[in-house]
Amino acid sequence: MALWRCSSSWLSSVSRSSGGVGGGESKVSPEIAPVDAGEGEEGDEERWSRLLPELLTEIMRRVDASAERWPPRRDVVACACVCRRWRDAAVSVVRPPLECGRITFPSSLKQPGPRDVPMHCFIRRNKKNSTFYLYLSLTQALTDKGKFLLAARRFRNGAHTEYIISYDCDDLFPGSNSYVGKLRSDFLGTKFIMYDSQPPYDGAKPSRSQSSRRFASKQINPNVSGSNYEVGQVSYKFNFLKSRGPRRMQCNIQCPVGQSTASDPSKEKPLSTSSTLSLRNKAPRWHEHLQCWCLNFHGRVTVASVKNFQLVAPASTSDPWGVGDEETVILQFGKIEDDAFTMDYRQPLSAFQAFAICLTSFGTKLACE
C-alpha cells in the first residue's frame, strides 16, 4: 500500500499548489467518519473507496485536465493507484493516445498513437551494454530530460540477434514481469520478427516455434505466460549491385481494426479482427549540391545517417485507417547526436511497435548498403 499513500499525497499537493482539484488551499479527502488506526491500511483504502461516484469522477476529470504533460501527469497515475474504484474512475475519464494525444498509463504504449499530430519521442543508445531507452519528449527541443517509456537490450542467441523490450530499464529479461515483447533477427540481420507478450486482439494465437517462446527451458511460474504473439515483420532488401542509395525497408504490422477507445484495454472486450498494415520507406531524392540523399524531416533530424528513414503506407483500397496516401509519414526515425535519435509515430502504430521497428535500424547491414 506504499504506492497508495504516495498517490494520495500527490493528490493533496496538486490541490494545495495549483488548485487543480479543489482550488485554493483545500484538500481532497472523503467526508466520512474516521477509521481507527488499528484497522490499518485496509481501513484507509475503504474510506477512499466510499466516495460518491459523481464526486470521484469529478475529481478525476479535474486532475486529468490540470495535468496535460509529464511530469505533472503522474498525478493521474497516482490517483489510479489509490484503490480499484479510483482506478476504474481514472480509466473511464482518461482517453487513449488516439483521442487525446497523450501517454498516461503503461497500457497506452500498446495503443495507436495520435491521429493528426505525431507523438514526439527520442531514443538514447548505450553502446557499452547494447541497451536502448525510449523517452517521450516533454518540450519542443529534440532532446530533453524526457519521460521514460521503454527499454531494450540486444542479446546474441546463437546465430541470431534478439532485442528484449521491457517497461523496466533495470529488468531486461524474458522472464520478468516487466517484459513487453521481443524482436528476433535472422543471421544476416536483414529480416526481423516482432513478438508481443500479450494477444493483440481477441482470438490471436501464440506462435508455436521454439525460438519465439519467452523461456528456453521448462516454465517455472505458471502465472507467467511462456508464449509470444507474432505481431509484425520487418525486412531489408539486399543490394547485390552495391548501387548508391539508402536502405530499402518493408514492414508488415498486425494492427487491430476499430481500436478500443478505453485507456485500459482490459476494460473492454478485445477486438476480434485485425488487418495487416504494410509500410515501406519513403524514397529520398538526390541533392546535387550536397551530393547526398535527402528527406524532409522538418527539422527533427540533424545528422546524416544510413539509419534515418521515413515509413509511409502505399496507396491501397484496403486501408481501414485512412493513411494509405504515400505522403503521410507514419513513422520517422533519425539521428541527432552520436547516440541520440528522434522517433515520431502516429496511428495505427503504437509506441511499442514503433520502437521495435526503429531497433531494426541499429547494427551494420553490409548486404543492404
What does the H/E/C string look like for 101-143?
CCCCCHHHHHCECCCCCCEEEEEEEECCCCEEEEEECCCCCCC
Peptide bond into 222 cis (omega under 30): no
Radius of gyration of the chain (CA): 23
Identify whether the C-beta of residue 343 lies closer than 8 Å to the C-beta of residue 349.
Answer: no
| DSSP line for 316-340 | -S--TTS--SSSSEEEEEEEEETTE
The reported pLDDT for the residue numbered 35 is 43
Taking alpha carbons only, the member of 363, 348, 369 closest to residue 155 is 363
Taking alpha carbons only, the member of 239, 369, 250, 234 closest to residue 305 is 369
The reported pLDDT for the residue numbered 171 is 87
Average pLDDT per consecutive 10 residues, the chain (369 residues; last block may be shorter):
36 36 37 45 68 90 92 91 90 92 93 92 94 93 88 88 93 86 88 90 71 50 67 83 69 77 49 77 82 84 89 75 79 94 94 96 66
**Rounded Cα gap, residues 193 and 208, in angstroms:** 14
Beta-sheet pairing, 274-281 with 285-287? unpaired
363: left (phi over 0), alpha (psi -120 to 50) or beta: left
The reported pLDDT for the residue numbered 364 is 65
**Rounded Cα gap, residues 369 and 243, in angstroms:** 8
What residue type is 24 in one-letter code? Answer: G
What residue type is 57 in one-letter code? Answer: T
The reported pLDDT for the residue numbered 38 is 46
The reported pLDDT for the residue numbered 279 is 92
